[in-house]
Structure formats: structure tokens, C-alpha cells
Amino acid sequence: MKRLICAFLCLSSFLQTIVLSDGSASKDLLIFQHLFDERRKEHQAAVQTLMAMPDSTKQQKMITLTLEKVFQVLSSSQEKLRLAGYVPGNEFPEQEDVRDALSQTLETTCLLGEVLLHLPSLTHKVLDKLQDQHKTLLAWGVFFTAHSSFLSENTRRLVHLMTQELGLAERDPDYINPYANKKQPTGTNEAQKKTKARKKKSFKKGPTLSRHYGDL
């Protein structure tokens, strides 16, 4: 009987440790997901500002700068995740540096997805000029994000559309980019030059929008 009681107490202590551990991990994961969702909202707002630009040349320049930043972050995060042996499907990491690398991978990939789906023509022009190592890095980021278990349904849908838009997976028979047909300011340079020619030289220029992209 004593042995049975002792075994029961040991089992109870073990189960309590597991519950506390899981509770802590769940709390950290909830915080992680909340911060990720907030960051996604910031990115979406930045993309809307990008779409509002009347000049397609400036839009393409901003897309190029954004991609450069995305590749810098993905390269750094990929190295940290590989060194930690972390792959999609693993449990939520305990190490803060691994969490940061995970978060940055998911955030930057989703940001690129927003830009690609909302401004597909301009983004494809930039992507077509990429070197092979950048294309490989991008494919890794998309694959990693697509197989992550910490995303909301809306984000999963975004990544699914992104994967098809990039040609990294076979497109669904009824695939349509739901954002491509929305009204987007294309701002051709020809039209702008004609408009400026009609205006007086003293007409003041509007404020720049570049400051909105400091956190991309």
C-alpha cells in the first residue's frame, strides 16, 4: 500500500509539472500570436500606403527596398533556426533568440505576401530580376511559413495564395488572386508629366510618403 501511495504521489507531482510547463508554454504562445497579429496589421497599413502612391516608379522602388530588407532578415533568421535545429512542426521554442528568428521569418514572409498579392505586376517585375540564391531563400521562407502551426486561418490563406502566385506549388484549378482586381493606382509617368506641364511652376509639391516605411 505504501508503495502504491508513493507511486501515486510521484505520478501526481510529475503530472503537475507537465501541466505547469504546458501552461507557461501556452501563455508564451498566446503572447507571441498576439504580437504577430499586431505586426501584421502594421504591415497591412503600410501596404495600403504603398498602394496609394500615384507613381508606379516610386512603388516599384519601395518594393525593391522592401525585398532587400526581407532577404536580409530571412538570411539571418534562417541561420539562427538552423543552428538551433528548429524546423516547422516543432513545439513553440523556449529560447528567446529562436523565438525572435521564428517571428521574423513569419512576419517578413507574410509582409512580402501582402505586397505580392496587392501589387502583383510590379512585384513580379522585381522578383524576376532576383539572383538564384535569393529565389532559394524566398522559397525557404514561404515553405517554412506555410508549414508553421502558429498561424491564424486568415494568415494561412494569405500564405496559400502567395505560394500559388509565386508558382511554388501547383495552382488550384479555380485560383484567383482576390486582391489583383481591386482598384490600384498605377500612376504612369506619361500621364503625370502631362499633368505637371499644365500646372504652374509655383505649385508646391506634396509631402513625401517614404517615412511610412521605416519599419518594413
pLDDT tens, position by position, for the chain (216 residues)? 444 334 433 433 433 333 334 455 578 889 999 999 999 999 999 999 999 999 999 999 999 999 999 999 999 999 999 999 999 989 999 899 999 999 999 999 999 999 999 999 999 999 999 989 999 999 999 999 999 988 999 999 999 999 999 999 889 999 999 998 665 544 444 444 444 444 444 334 433 333 333 444
In three-state secondary structure terms, 188 is: coil
Output the CA torsion sign for 165, 214, 151, 38.
negative
Q: Where are the domains of the chain?
A: 31-168
DSSP per-residue string spanning 131-178: -HHHHHHHHHHHHHHHT-SS--HHHHHHHHHHHHHTTSSPPPTT---T
Q: What angle do CA 203, 198, 200 make, to 5 degrees?
A: 30
Q: What is each CA distance from 51 to 16, 114, 155, in whole angstroms?
A: 52, 11, 20
Q: Report if pTM > 0.85.
A: no
